[in-house]
A and B are shown apart, each in its own frame.
Chain A
Amino acid sequence: MRAIPLKSFASLAVVGLLATGCGQGLLGGDDGDKAATANDPIVLGMLIPQSGSEAAIGPYMSNAAQLALDEINAKGGVLGRKLELKTADDACDAQSAAAGANKLVTEGVDISVGGYCSGATLPTLPIFGKANIPMIIPAANSQELVDQKLKHVFLINGTGSQQAGAAEKWIAKQGAKSVVLMHDNTSYSKDIALRTKALLDAPGDAEAVLVETVTPKESDYSANITNVLAKKPDFVYWTGYFQEGGLIARQLRQAGYKGSIMVGDGSVSPKLVEIAGAEAAEGVYATMTQTPDTLEGAEGWIAAYKKKYNADPGPYSNQAYDAVRLAAEAVTKAGGTDGAKVVSALEAIDGFSMFSGPLKFTPEHTLSNGGFQILVVKDGKITLQDSLK
């Protein structure tokens, strides 16, 4: 796994080549197709992790997307055309994501509604961009995605800076004095950690005493934890994913750490509790956007999901569901699937009702309100602690 940064660079280069290579050809062919076959289904593409370390998340998202799709199709579809969903596996890995995005483009996707891991979503931006495919990203939320300032990219999850803001608010509310930030050196995780540190560095009670980097995919974090405990913190904030998050929470408690532990949205998963063990996970806080468990007035939706899949919706189910509904709305407003028109329609949307509240995009194509709240592990379940309103 040490090879990841290198691999990502390599795949970025490959992505660039592929995108320039086949993007133009497809672009030309695509437009012609669209005019000729106005009654064909509108195809939504979804890149999600179906394998690899984050594979648990994939079904939560694709199931919810399919649910939204079925509801819309039952009402007659969009502009008289049915919606269709095509998924591809990004394995939370830049190379697989680039391959998956190219596959979706060749399959004639009109709008992309996927993207969970930020590091895997980043290289897909130019691929969809070259093919003139608007992207509504339900989950991936690293600031790096925003900083590209791409016209076809819209984020409907709160961003890294919004998450850092929520973290800082909760740290202040808890009256913590010395805070340790831990990240796994991926763009998403490091971004949140450093933004939180910047906020904590401003005058106030809490102070960031250490930013500790861990190597993902390992089992033993005792060396890092020795570093952390040497600073005698009363608050530790882990901004990476749940596999390491569970181990870190457990090993912190084993080492006798008594203070608060908080994790970022990538760690919000029932697996976190399982890996940490019920005892060590108890009382762990998390910064997270709305999950099905914390939504207000979503009982009907949860019941529909349960009925269809015989399972509970999970993290990012609601965002994936909203991404599909939003895509349908934008196509309706644009009167077709032309990329530029859909983008304008998305920019013009004001007050579209979503789980995260009425939608209006900022000029940067992010939510005007990130909607982050604080969850807590209580009796082994992840529940709402404070909505930070």
Chain B
Amino acid sequence: MTQLVWNGLFVGSFYALVALGYSMVYGIIKLLNFAHGDLYMLGAFVGFAILGAVGGVSSSMALPLLLVVLLATMVLTGLAGVALERVAYRPLRRAPRLSLLITAVGASFALEYGMRAAAGADPRVYPVRLGGTSVEVLGARLTLQQLVLVGVAVVLMIGLNLLITRTREGRAMRAIALDPRTSSLMGIDVNAVISRTFFIGSALAGAAGVMAGAYYGKIDFLMGFLIGLKAFTAAVIGGIGNIPGTMLGGLLLGLLESFGTFWLGGEWRDVFAFGVLILFLTVRPTGLLGERVTERV
């Protein structure tokens, strides 16, 4: 039982990290950024490239080195997210919502197949990997590396929450989410804040990408597709636009999958997990912590 919970939480923390970017961007400009999963993929490849450039390292240095690579990747992926917003989304901000949605889908394909052209279709394997033997804690097998990864995820999420609730920057983001035009009249530089939102969201996805690459080892140009969909789902369960809700949504989806696999077997996992979600959303359409928002047109 504890094993199932741990499996679910571990996978769920990846979902949550990626889902946060979805949720932040949606919260601020009501855009479903379907390219977000591909920023996760981009992060994994950026980390791979940096590690390749650094060269061989002893396994004792693996963890500290990975943390440094993680930070560098977050910065680079964040900048990529900012560029994406500037090129693909900002010119369309006043366009009909559907055009923006299609641009997002287009950006997703561009990133996927651009990466295929650049890095090839073959899966790549991380040169530095977090292996480690497992220890038993309360009947669950877990490794030190898993704990570190979950720890990093938690730190990033807490940091994000503090940023949004406690800082001027966060207040500006929340203000824009409520009403961009009034915010701009109040002297907030809306474009700059949106750029920074993309930076943070993309950096978190990039962090998740490096962590997945280092832990699971295999990366490929389509790795962002499935997790992008899952993260979107997690964001909606949690209440899209709501940060703590999104984190909970990610963990909940991870747990549902873990228990679904156990109770009904692998082939029924998604039927179970998504069936529960449909039921849940019919009862509570705004998600776990989401609030009813009036649609702005």
A195 CB within 8 Å of chain B: no
A91 to chain B, nearest CB (A): 9
A143 CB within 8 Å of chain B: no
Given contacts A222-B10, A222-B11, A254-B131, contact A243 B216 (CB under 8 A): no
A281 to B40, CA, bound (A): 27
Contact A217 B217 (CB under 8 A): no
Contact A222 B7 (CB under 8 A): yes
A202 CB within 8 Å of chain B: no
- Of the candidate stretches A47-55, A72-80, A379-387, the one touching chain B is A47-55
Contact B7 A243 (CB under 8 A): no
Contact B121 A243 (CB under 8 A): no
Select B131's contact among A227, A246, A277, beta carbons within 8 Å: A277
B119 to chain A, nearest CB (A): 12
Q: Provide the residues of chain B in CB contact with A213, threshold 8 Å.
A: 265-267
Select B134's contact among A2, A53, A256, beta carbons within 8 Å: A256
B164 CB within 8 Å of chain A: no
Contact A219 B267 (CB under 8 A): no
B118-143 toward A: CB 8 Å interface, digit per residue (1/0)? 00111101000101111000000101
A8 CB within 8 Å of chain B: no
Most A CB contacts (10 A, CB to CB) among B133, B212, B265 go to B265
A48 to B265, CA, bound (A): 33
Count of chain B residues near A, Cβ 8 A: 39
A212 CB within 8 Å of chain B: yes
A242 to chain B, nearest CB (A): 9
Q: Provide the residues of chain A in CB contact with B7, threshold 8 Å.
A: 220, 222-223, 226
Q: Provide the residues of chain A in CB contact with B189, threshold 8 Å.
A: none
A26 CB within 8 Å of chain B: no
A243 to B132, CA, bound (A): 21
Given contacts A214-B266, A250-B217, contact A220 B3 (CB under 8 A): no
Given contacts A217-B226, A223-B257, A256-B134, contact A53 B220 (CB under 8 A): yes
Given contacts A219-B216, A227-B261, contact A271 B141 (CB under 8 A): no
Contact A220 B10 (CB under 8 A): yes
Select B143's contact among A56, A227, A250, A254, beta carbons within 8 Å: A254
B4 CB within 8 Å of chain A: yes
B6 to chain A, nearest CB (A): 8
Contact A55 B10 (CB under 8 A): no
Q: Provide the residues of chain A in CB contact with B269, threshold 8 Å.
A: 215, 223
B178 CB within 8 Å of chain A: no
Q: Provide the residues of chain B in CB contact with A212, threshold 8 Å.
A: 265-266
Given contacts A226-B4, A226-B7, A227-B265, contact A51 B270 (CB under 8 A): no
* In the complex, the 10 A-B pairs of residues with the closest C-beta atoms, listed nearest first: A213-B267, A223-B261, A55-B121, A213-B266, A219-B216, A222-B7, A223-B258, A274-B125, A275-B218, A51-B121
**B-to-A contact residues, CB < 8 Å:** 3-4, 7-8, 10-11, 14, 116, 120-123, 125, 129, 131-134, 141, 143, 212, 216-218, 220, 222-223, 225-226, 229, 257-258, 261-262, 265-267, 269-270
**What are 24 of the A-B contact pairs (CB < 8 Å)?**
A1-B225, A51-B116, A217-B222, A217-B225, A220-B7, A222-B7, A222-B11, A222-B258, A223-B4, A223-B257, A223-B261, A226-B4, A226-B7, A226-B258, A227-B261, A227-B265, A243-B123, A246-B217, A246-B218, A254-B134, A256-B134, A274-B125, A275-B218, A279-B131
